[in-house]
Amino acid sequence: MTSPYPILAILGILVVVMTLAAGLIWLERRLLALWQDRYGPNRVGPFGLLQVLADMIKIFFKEDWIPPFADKVVFVIAPAIIVGTVLMSFAVLPIAPGIIVSDLNIGLLFILGMSSIGVYSVVLAGWASDNKYSLLGGLRAAAQMLSYEVFMGLALMGVVLLAGSFQLSEIVSAQRRVWFVVPQFAGFILFLIAGVAETRRLPFDLPEAESELIAGFHSEYSGMKFGLFFVGEYLGVILISSLITILFFGGWMGPVLPPIIWFVLKMMFFICFFILLRAALPRPRFDQLMSWGWKVMLPLALANLLITGAVALAWG
Amino acid sequence: MLSTIRTLWYVFLHMFHKRVTIQYPDEKAYLAPRYRGRIILSRDPDGGERCVACHLCAEACPVDCIALQATEDENGRRYPEFFRINFSRCIFCGFCEEACPTYAIQLTPDTEMGEYKRPNLVYEKDDLLINGEGKYPGYNFWRVSGVKIGGKDKGEAENEGPPVDVHRLLP
Ligand code: SF4
Ligand code: SF4
């Protein structure tokens, strides 16, 4: 089911995803404003849409400064890792029938692996900056993302059990009769929470907690390197939203409208939900975050997997 | 967990609330008449300068942004030769207005004083002096004070009796 013109698919997905990530900055600011009874950016162009462009021009012309005390090579590589890994993950996402770069038969594992590599970006950025706040941010990121990744994987195993495959397009096809959100509701909630933690967005933005750590792991970054972290975060949001859509909400499937529209609609819904989370929830304390992860989420994920396995076995 | 969901819902409902932003340049915020903004120097009902160059405002000013020089006209009325306020330092505290014995210096509800060059924020007397009486119409310092000036001798001010001859013993 791979696309007949892989180059076209690659370029198309790359361009669309990057534009979307930039556009999300605008969307997020507008939506946050809407939920906080403000307007947000509405001056530049229609509805303030050109604000994105203005911000881009600005960030491109910012001084790109590497602190003299930083570990230069690692400092430069770190922001590239996050964007690289997230973009790699997009390669295996089936957007619509035929619109996919590479339909790996272990697609899900690939994405989990890539997001694990993505942790390095944050940790290395914190380490290479040679700044205590950055280091604290990096440490937090390592602890948080590793522990949340554990049950993120476990929460998805229920879906894999039901679909009988790691291949994302297979998983979508397996939801022809009923979306996996119904039999795997617990898995969906767990994955949602883990996904937010994985993208380091509020309420799980402890690695960059402005009020405690200045900007956490990217305190020392400026110019386009900071921009890459920023874009990486939004790419992560798009990725997690797409994953939720694909794994639990039937991907491109839906009546009447063409598949790609359905996919984008479902994905946008979850992106907006991510933004709503940011608008509404305060940040937990770090020890609360960790104990919540290990003492609540992990046992729940295990129980979910156990029950799903038992039911799947019983029904053959 | 439940409270989290409730929070989410309440925040979501804010979508349908009225926005509180005032879109400033298109839409002006209401500034109360006693708002402390651009400073002016007012005049008497009969058109003379109210300021008597007493330096009290300059003394009261916490950031020392008022500079003036006193002089006297042919009638013996004191007035400032120059009067300069550096608005790039002024913090609009209103202390000068409180200190002024003649209601000359007043703050007005105008805040739109933006400039591209800092020196343009130094206002001279010409820029400060207005042709009206500001917030205290009808008040004329020289008419209520006992000071003698040309055209008004001792004892001729409002509510003032004729001067007492201190050398006479009779009451
Ligand atoms: S408002 Fe305050 S700071 Fe400004 S001139 Fe008057 S006393 Fe000085
Ligand atoms: S403005 Fe008022 S306080 Fe200041 S010098 Fe003139 S009379 Fe005195």
Residue A263 resides in a domain = yes
Which H or E element spans position B69?
strand B66-72
Domain assignment present for residue A124? The answer is: yes
Q: Where are the alpha helices (DSSP H) in chain A?
A: 6-35, 51-60, 72-90, 107-128, 132-163, 168-173, 185-198, 210-213, 223-248, 259-280, 286-291, 298-315
What single-letter amino acid sits at B94?
Answer: G
Dist CA A291 CA B36 (whole Å): 53
Residue B83 confidence class, pLDDT cut points 50, 70, 90:
very high
Report the range of poorest mean pLDDT among A5-19, A273-287, B52-66: A5-19
Is the pLDDT reported for residue B76 higher than 90? no
Q: Which residues form the domain of A84?
A: 6-315
Atom of ligand 2 nearest to the CA of B96: 3
- At CA B140, angle to CA B139 and CA B141, rounded to 5? 115
Q: Which residues line ligand 1 (CB under 6 A)?
A: B 39, 60-63, 65-66, 85, 90-96
**Number of domains present in the structure of chain A:** 1
Backbone angles phi, psi at B78, to 5 degrees: -80, 145
**Coil vs helix vs strand at B149:** strand
Cα–Cα distance between A273 and A126 in angstroms, integer?
29
Q: Is A218 in contact with A121 (CB distance < 8 Å)?
A: no
pLDDT of residue A197 exceeding 80, the answer is: yes
Name the residue among A37, A279, A281 with its Cβ closest to that of B19. Answer: A37
Is A169 a domain residue?
A: yes
Q: Share the mean pLDDT of chain A.
A: 83
Closest-CA residue in chain B for A37? B19
In chain A, residues with a C-beta closer than 8 Å to the C-beta of B12 are 35, 276, 280
What's the whole-number mean pLDDT along residues A178-185? 79
State the pLDDT confidence band at A196, using cuts at 50, 70 and 90.
confident
Nearby residues of A201 by Cβ (< 8 Å), 6 or more positions away:
A233, A236, A237, A274, A277, A278
Residue A180 lies in a domain: yes
In a domain, A1, yes or no: no
Check: CB of residue A123 under 8 Å from CB of residue A134: no
pLDDT tier at B39, thresholds 50, 70, 90 = very high
Q: Could you write out the DSSP letters of every residue in A10-34?
A: HHHHHHHHHHHHHHHHHHHHHHHHH
Residue A3 confidence class, pLDDT cut points 50, 70, 90:
low
Q: Span A305-315, mean pLDDT?
A: 85
Residue A277 lies in a domain: yes
Is there a domain that residue A62 lies in?
A: yes
